[in-house]
Amino acid sequence: MEKHIAVLPGDGIGPEVMTQALRVLAAVSEKFGHTFTTEEAVIGGAAYEAHGEHFPDATRAICAKSDAILFGSVGGPVSELHLDKWKGCEVNALLGIRKAFSFNANFRPVKVFPELIDICPLKKEVVERGIDILFIRELNGDIYFGEKKFFEKDGRRAAMDVAEYTEDQIASVANTAFQAARKRSKRVTSVDKANVLHTSKLWREVVHEVAKDYSDVALEDMLVDNCAMQLIKDPSQFDVILTTNMFGDILSDAGAVLPGSLGLLASASINAEGFGLYEPPGGSAQDIAGKGVANPIAQILSVAMMLKFSFSLQAEAEAIENAVSSALAKGARSGDIVQKGETAIGSVAMTDVVLAELA
Ligand code: IPM
Ligand code: MN
């Protein structure tokens, strides 16, 4: 197979973990006989330095002619956030690219590795029931993209963000979720706030209409406040969680602490044509950037997701996932997942172990 990949390392730990992930991509292509060509482009603060914009046209053009986008992370260090380079960086880069390619479904799988059960913040008896959740978050609508403004009301400062959904936006991501559930344990929990919000009432109505085409998948509704509670109390009850842009942002971060480190999570943003962007949702971690200590697993697993989702290379993706699991089983630990008595290794050494397991 021949594919062309746009590589957007971005800021912070992005470039260093991307370098490691590309080593894994090269090893997989060699092992399975594929040709993956890559083209690098700037995004975020790195793009601002080069072009004065966080998501420049040149980057958009490189993405547009690629078969998939591999994304690192964007955002600046706390001490520099007042600089123009970092102002609006995440919003301009991330929301910009999501809008540009109509990425409307965001897949955020959350799995607790059996090898790392001890670093899950929940009680062992809760974790041992197994945690394997796929968050599917709508990514193109809701309060993120509705009208927003600052204004004056009765001489006082006021602000507003409009939450808006169309039935087509809801139906599209609902279809995505039901199809994903078919490949898993055939259960979807749709999360909304239908007791209060009109957008949620419409959400619930449309999700149930779409569900009629998936009679083999069980659908349950859950209110978002209850879902937040259940995620901590009994996360094993969930399989696919389908939800809105805003709720998905919050709930998926709550879910993301379950594996014990953000450095273990990958995500995919997909549009209706199946074009996708793959990224670790963990952020640029500027505090540890440039030290060679960042956990490369999230970026490596993003490569696996790309192979699976964009190129339908199931065996290749599983080879990477299995290599990561074996590396963890053999005791390879980066600083974010190290426990008392264990020794932390850096990004390169961690990737070396994954590559050895892959071979
Ligand atoms: C995410 C991030 C973004 C979001 C921000 C940085 C714009 O939190 O990818 O989850 O809210 O979607
Ligand atoms: Mn978020």
Q: Is the CB of 88 under 6 A from ligand 1?
A: no
Confidence (pLDDT) at 3:
97
CB atoms within 10 A of CB 121: 10
The low-confidence residues of the chain, meaning pLDDT below 70, are none
Instruction: List CB contacts of 213: < 8 A, sequence separation 6 or more.
Output: 175, 178
Mutate-to-test residue for ligand 1 from 249, 277, 278, highest number of ligand atoms within 8 A of CB = 249
Alpha carbons 103 and 268: distance in angstroms, whole number: 9
| Catalytic-residue membership of 213 | no
Going by C-alpha positions, the residue among 213, 193, 212 that lies closest to residue 203 is: 193
Longest dimension (CA), the chain: 68
Query: Which residue out of 67, 132, 161, 253 is catalytically annotated?
Result: 253
pLDDT of 199: 98
Distance CA 346, CA 48 (A): 29
pLDDT at 330: 94
Domains 1-112+259-359 and 121-257 share a fold: yes
Domain boundaries, the chain: 1-112+259-359, 121-257
Question: Where do runs of H (alpha helix) occur along the chain?
Answer: 14-32, 45-51, 57-64, 89-90, 96-100, 124-127, 167-182, 198-211, 224-233, 245-256, 297-309, 314-329, 347-358
Closest ligand 1 atom to Cα of 75 = 6
Ligand 1 close to Cβ of residue 91 (< 6 A): yes
Domain 1-112+259-359's class? alpha beta
Q: Class of 121-257 per CATH?
A: alpha beta
**pLDDT on residue 211:** 98
Q: What's the confidence (pLDDT) of residue 64? A: 98
Alpha helix positions (H), 135-194: 167-182
Nearest to 133, CA basis, from 280, 45, 237: 237
Q: How high is the pLDDT of residue 282?
A: 87
Beta bridge partners of 243: 137, 191
Q: Hey, whose CA ends up nearest to atom 6 of ligand 1?
A: 90
With the most atoms of ligand 1 within 8 angstroms of its CB, the residue from 11, 94, 108 to mutate is 94
| 291 catalytically annotated | no
Number of H helices, E strands in the chain: 13, 12
Catalytic status, residue 11: no
